[in-house]
């Protein structure tokens, strides 16, 4: 069964879907006339307030909750995996995927805010399911998206993250998996029971702290090896267009391999086009869809253009990518350059995985509410928390693959909506004065 799921996951996340995702990124970049140039203005917006806006949480809180779901083990482990498989050139293509992906993140977030609805309690609900229903009159597609979101969340949001937490604490601190799993389940349960406002408060605290710690650690390691940084940057650029093996010297990985792994890992890291982040963007306090979309766009900038790229440069500059190590092992080797580096890495991994748990719980909550009504939310949250403990103590190969399949099936209807409604995105962007008539 696991082998069947593995083949299915490889098939759905093959070249066609990667081309569709990256093609959408390029298409929206062209349609929006390089909207990414407004990124620093968007960063300023993310820490400012909009008077008289309606919504459940502040734009900054919505951004932190979105980053909680995207800045995860993919930034720490996924970057190392991309370099091990595609060579140093993968870092360049990961960076490129992040830059172009900002346009798609802007578009899907704008649509989520434009087509969001307010329930009888005054709470906002939105995301691709509402875009498909209200923008394209395809409620059946909205229900499919919501179903795949519920399924994916139980895997990638709950069980997989819990497994990462228990593995780290077992390896570094020798804590039994059952103990760390139980603690993680209790902590997540205490946070998500309060809904989006509780989730946002926690994310506002832990995401900046963990992000700054991880970035500072990267910068210190780069400072230690600063003499080779110019060579490293030239190597990354050269390898992106001429190919360089990740293991075994200069004979090996082709340009196609660097592009494939760099672009695909970048896409997995920032989730631009998957349709998950727009669900929380729809909860933001804003009067302008374009304004919140700009703020949401900065999530991809921080996640991939800054954090993932910085991690990639750090790994290549260390020279340890030539050892044949991959994934978490490679990142751990690099962090051991620092005193107590393995402890710092473990705590960052724990924080990012925990944040992903609580962030994805909100996506799943809104998807379950769309499918089955508000009465289903408590039962779904209970299942979500139970699976955190189960995920901490069992092997999850099949769960990883099933989650990958569900994520891919989320992306397809979302990208269809983004492309089909691109005219709406352009019109709203013009109204906001971000592109000329």
> Is the per-residue pLDDT at 372 higher than 70?
yes
Q: Which of 84-88, 102-106, 301-305 shows the lowest mean pLDDT across its residues?
A: 84-88
Closest of 65, 115, 38, 50 to residue 425, by C-alpha: 115
Tokens of 328: 């978490």
Q: What does the pLDDT read at residue 264?
A: 73
The H-or-E segment that residue 117 falls in is: strand 117-118
Q: Is residue 435 part of a domain?
A: no
Distance between CA atoms of residues 63 and 75, nearest Å = 17
Q: Is residue 436 part of a domain?
A: no
The H-or-E segment that residue 318 falls in is: helix 309-318
Mean pLDDT for 141-150 is 94
pLDDT digits (tens, 9 = 90+) for 272-306: 888 989 999 998 888 889 999 999 999 999 888 88
Give the percent of the chain with pLDDT over 70.
91
Q: What does the pLDDT read at residue 249?
A: 45
The H-or-E segment that residue 125 falls in is: strand 124-125
Number of domains in the chain: 1
Q: Is residue 434 part of a domain?
A: no
Q: Is residue 303 part of a domain?
A: yes
Determine contact, residues 149/276, Cβ cutoff 8 Å: yes
Block residue for tokens 């299915």: 8
Give the percent of the chain with pLDDT over 90.
41
Tokens of 261: 């792994």
- Burial of 251 by CB count in 10 Å (0-12 exposed, 13-18 middle, 19+ buried)? exposed
Q: What does the pLDDT read at residue 110?
A: 96
> Is the per-residue pLDDT at 248 higher than 50?
no
**Mean pLDDT over each residue of the chain, to the nearest integer:** 86
Q: What does the pLDDT read at residue 409?
A: 87
Residue 274: how many CB atoms within 10 A of its CB?
A: 25
Q: Is residue 364 part of a domain?
A: yes
DSSP per residue over 50-80, as a string?
-TT-BSSB-HHHHHHHHHHHHSSHIIIIIHH
Q: Is residue 437 part of a domain?
A: no
Domain of 354: which CATH number? 1.20.1740.10
Distance between CA atoms of residues 93 and 237, nearest Å = 9
Q: What does the pLDDT read at residue 53?
A: 64
Q: What does the pLDDT read at residue 251?
A: 39
pLDDT digits (tens, 9 = 90+) for 306-332: 888 898 999 999 988 888 776 677 888
Q: In 3-state terms, what secondary structure has residue 138? A: coil
Q: Which of 28-37, 78-87, 92-101 shows the lowest mean pLDDT across its residues?
A: 78-87
> Is the per-residue pLDDT at 246 higher than 70?
no
The H-or-E segment that residue 398 falls in is: helix 397-420
Q: Is residue 209 part of a domain?
A: yes
pLDDT band at 253 (very low <50, low <70, confident <90, very high): very low
Higher-confidence residue of 1 and 96: namely 96
pLDDT digits (tens, 9 = 90+) for 43-76: 998 888 766 666 667 878 888 887 877 776 667 7
Tokens of 67: 């980053």
pLDDT band at 397 (very low <50, low <70, confident <90, very high): low
Q: Is residue 337 part of a domain?
A: yes
Q: What does the pLDDT read at residue 7?
A: 77
Domain that holds residue 59: 2-428
């Amino acid at each position: 069964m696991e082998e069947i799921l593995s083949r299915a996951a490889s098939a759905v996340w093959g070249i066609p879907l990667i081309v569709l995702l990256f093609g959408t990124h390029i298409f929206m970049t062209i349609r929006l006339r390089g909207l990414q140039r407004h990124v620093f203005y968007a960063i300023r917006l993310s820490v400012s307030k909009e008077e008289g806006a309606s919504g459940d949480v502040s734009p900054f809180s919505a951004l932190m909750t979105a980053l909680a779901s995207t800045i995860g083990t993919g930034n720490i482990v996924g970057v190392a995996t991309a370099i091990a498989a595609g060579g140093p050139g993968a870092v360049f293509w990961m960076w490129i995927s992040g830059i172009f992906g900002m346009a798609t993140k802007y578009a899907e977030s704008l649509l989520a805010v434009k087509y969001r609805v307010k329930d009888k309690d005054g709470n906002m609900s939105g995301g691709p399911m509402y875009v498909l229903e209200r923008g394209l009159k395809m409620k059946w597609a909205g229900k499919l998206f919501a179903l795949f979101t519920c399924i994916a969340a139980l895997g990638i949001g709950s069980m997989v993250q819990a497994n990462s937490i228990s593995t780290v604490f077992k390896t570094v601190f020798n804590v039994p998996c059952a103990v760390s799993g139980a603690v993680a389940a209790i902590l997540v349960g205490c946070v998500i029971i309060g809904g989006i406002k509780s989730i946002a408060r926690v994310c506002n605290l832990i995401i900046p702290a963990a992000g700054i710690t991880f970035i500072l650690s990267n910068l210190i390691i780069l400072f230690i090896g600063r003499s080779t940084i110019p060579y490293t940057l030239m190597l990354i650029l050269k390898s992106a267009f001429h190919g360089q093996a990740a293991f075994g010297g200069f004979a090996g990985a082709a340009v196609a391999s660097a592009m494939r792994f760099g672009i695909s890992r970048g896409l997995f890291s920032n989730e631009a086009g998957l349709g998950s982040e727009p669900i929380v963007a729809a909860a933001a306090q804003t009067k302008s869809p374009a304004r919140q979309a700009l703020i949401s766009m900065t999530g991809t900038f921080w996640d991939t253009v800054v954090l993932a790229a910085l991690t990639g440069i750090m790994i290549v500059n260390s020279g340890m990518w030539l050892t044949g190590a991959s994934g978490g092992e490679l990142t751990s080797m690099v962090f051991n350059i620092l005193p107590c580096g393995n402890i710092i890495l473990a705590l960052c991994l724990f924080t990012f995985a925990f944040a992903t748990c609580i962030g994805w719980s909100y996506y799943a909550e809104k998807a379950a509410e769309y499918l089955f009504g508000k009465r289903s939310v408590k039962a779904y949250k209970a299942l979500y928390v139970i699976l955190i403990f189960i995920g901490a103590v069992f092997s999850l190969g099949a769960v990883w693959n099933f989650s990958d399949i569900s994520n891919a099936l989320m992306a397809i209807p979302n990208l269809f909506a983004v492309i089909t409604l691109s005219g709406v995105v352009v019109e709203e962007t013009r109204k906001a004065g971000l592109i000329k008539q």
